[in-house]
Amino acid sequence: MQMRPVTTFTRSIGCKAIHQLSRRPENQLRASLSLARSQSNLHTSPPLSPATRISRPTIRLNPTTQLHLQAKPRAMSSETIPDRYKLVFFVPHSHLETVKDAVFASGAGTFPGGKYVKCCFQMPGQGQFMPAGGANPAIGAVGTLEVVEEMKVEVMCLGRSIMLHAVEALVKAHPYEEVAYEVYKMENV
């Protein structure tokens, strides 16, 4: 059965990337190889007997072979999907819930359709900083290296205005003088 691609990407990539993509069922990708220039770019394993046949053929590519990834068609909703942003920030454990509540109150962490709210990913880690002259640190002292147990929090924002309100809420609720955060615009695919 031939599928019509919604989107086709062409990239020259190596074998490891092809193997990783082919093993991800959640991506719903079908890979097909383009041999437009030279048949010598594709090397396949010798044929196997029916008794030893495996479900996925072994394919070795040289790095210049082009790979076409075809996204599986899926139903699009009649609504337009708003721009999505990912807000990533770092906060000490003592202020985690207070800061998350402020960010969620701005509308961040809500998935399209509103069926899921207050969604985020969080992971523990260590933050390091040394306050320099003129700093007014909430933790530590000027000129002393400080290592703090913190949480990395990632939250999705639907629309630019929600992202801006979430950043504003984050900065107001966060205990640090200088808040460490990142904003990424995500692609709707």
Classify residue 99: in a domain, yes or no. Answer: yes
Number of domains within the chain: 1
Classify residue 131: in a domain, yes or no. Answer: yes
Q: How far is CA 110 from CA 40, 75, 119, 169, in A?
A: 50, 21, 6, 16
Q: 47 pLDDT exceeds 80?
A: no
Q: Which amino acid is at 121?
A: F
Classify residue 171: in a domain, yes or no. Answer: yes
Classify residue 66: in a domain, yes or no. Answer: no
| Domain enclosing residue 121, as ranges | 84-186
Classify residue 49: in a domain, yes or no. Answer: no
Identify the CATH number of the domain in which residue 90 sits: 3.30.70.120
User: pLDDT tens digits for 48-98?
Assistant: 455 544 444 444 555 555 555 554 444 445 467 789 999 999 999 999 999
